[in-house]
């Protein structure tokens, strides 16, 4: 039995059956899981490539293929489909980020440290939340991106790393165990972090992340939260907020210089550096919440000190960074 036995007629028969019974029943009857990478595309619809090929082989030869018969994997199946004149699309695999795993772990904790079934309304709700473009771009997503079944698998990954879990841990993500330990060591803080991430995602009107990475996010740690740090930086980069803080500082006779190291852009660069400074929120977004901006909650700091504050968790205060610079 080889893929060479499959014909275009057999593939079209498989697609017709797929359309007749629907994806879930078609996959159940063929014994395959949902495709992760490769899909056959026809008339704007996507079909799970291996399951379709399995059914088509049965049509053409009388003997359907099983999962163990695909020794060449998805690429071999895709190559055969293209030979038969079909369009095959490959989708990216998006690893779960620290933010997403924090939300999944909070769900597991809420569920008594048990896997959350895909039929559970909470899995459906989290799936919908994670499909916003605030974390992953829309481009390159497959039809199963962060599906309820994916949420169930991820909560199962986390459960498999519990200290009293009897079986072998699943492959999962290297962050699963780290997030789980944080929930055990700092339960209140992690629940608060999960709530803040959830709120940021629910209220996000952010466009997909740009292709060029934000340098301030390069060394991001789980405790900071990518979604929250992006929201925090958006607030700090508000031109109006910066203007208001500079005006407030001038009204009180404060120099427009870094409050951590004392660097003055005007003294170094002359008129080109006049009134140039960055504005920093002293409290992270998940601590302060969506509060009104008070001038005393803001600090004027230079670009270098600003990046050093955000470089790793826990964030240093402006005063702690100033002490570090002096030392």
- pLDDT tens track for 74-126: 678 889 999 999 999 988 888 898 889 999 999 999 999 999 999 999 999 99
Residue-level pLDDT at 101: 93
- Which DSSP helix (H) or strand (E) runs through 39? strand 38-42
Identify the residue with better confidence: 224 or 323: 323
User: In the numeric block, which tokens belong to residue 218?
Assistant: 């390069």
Contact 1, 63 (CB under 8 A): yes
Q: How confident is the model at residue 224 (pLDDT cuts 50, 70, 90)?
A: very low
What is the predicted pLDDT for the residue at 225?
52
pLDDT of residue 173: 84
Does residue 227 contact residue 132 with C-beta atoms inside 8 Å?
A: no
Average pLDDT (218-226) is 49
pLDDT tens string 261-277: 999 999 999 999 999 99
The token pair at 229 is: 């740090």
Question: How do residues 113-166 score in pLDDT, each as one tens digit?
Answer: 999 999 999 999 999 999 988 788 888 788 889 999 999 999 999 999 999 998
Residue bearing the bigger pLDDT, 36 or 12:
12
The pTM of the whole model exceeds 0.85:
no
User: Is it the case that residue 211 has pLDDT exceeding 50?
Assistant: no
pLDDT band at residue 250 under the 50/70/90 scheme: very high
Residue written as tokens 């690893």?
Answer: 95
Which band of pLDDT confidence, cut at 50, 70 and 90, is reported for residue 210? very low
* Alpha-helix runs per DSSP H in the chain: 8-21, 23-30, 49-61, 73-83, 98-110, 121-130, 148-159, 174-185, 187-202, 226-236, 239-251, 265-269, 285-288, 303-310, 318-326
pLDDT at residue number 283: 77
């Amino acid at each position: 039995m080889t893929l060479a036995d499959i014909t275009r007629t057999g593939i079209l028969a498989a697609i017709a059956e797929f359309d007749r019974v629907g994806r879930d029943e078609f996959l159940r009857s063929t014994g395959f899981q949902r495709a992760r990478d490769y899909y056959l595309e026809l008339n704007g619809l996507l079909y799970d490539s291996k399951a379709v090929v399995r059914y088509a082989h049965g049509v053409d030869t009388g003997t359907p293929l099983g999962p163990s018969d695909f020794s060449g994997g998805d690429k071999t199946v895709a190559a055969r489909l293209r030979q038969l004149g079909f369009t095959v699309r490959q989708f990216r695999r998006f690893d779960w980020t620290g933010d997403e795993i924090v939300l999944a772990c909070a769900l597991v904790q809420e569920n008594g440290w048990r896997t959350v079934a895909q039929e559970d309304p909470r899995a459906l709700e989290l799936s919908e939340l994670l499909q916003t473009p605030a974390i992953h771009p829309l481009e390159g997503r497959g039809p199963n991106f962060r599906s309820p079944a994916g949420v169930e698998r991820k909560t199962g990954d986390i459960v498999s790393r519990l200290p009293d879990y009897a079986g072998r841990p699943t492959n999962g993500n290297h962050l699963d165990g780290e997030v789980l330990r944080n929930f055990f060591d700092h339960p209140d803080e992690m629940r608060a972090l999960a709530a803040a991430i959830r709120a940021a995602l629910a209220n996000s009107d952010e466009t997909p992340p740009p292709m060029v990475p934000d340098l301030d996010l390069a060394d991001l740690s789980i405790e900071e939260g990518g979604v929250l740090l992006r929201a925090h930086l958006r607030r700090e980069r508000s031109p109006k907020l910066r203007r208001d803080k500079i005006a407030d500082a001038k009204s009180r006779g404060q120099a427009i210089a870094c409050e951590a190291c004392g660097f003055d852009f005007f003294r170094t660069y002359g008129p080109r550096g006049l009134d140039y400074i960055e504005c920093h929120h002293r409290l992270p977004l998940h601590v302060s919440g969506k509060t009104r901006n008070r001038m005393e909650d803001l600090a004027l700091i230079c670009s270098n000190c600003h990046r050093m504050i955000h470089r790793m968790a826990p964030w240093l205060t402006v005063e702690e960074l100033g002490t570090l610079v002096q030392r």
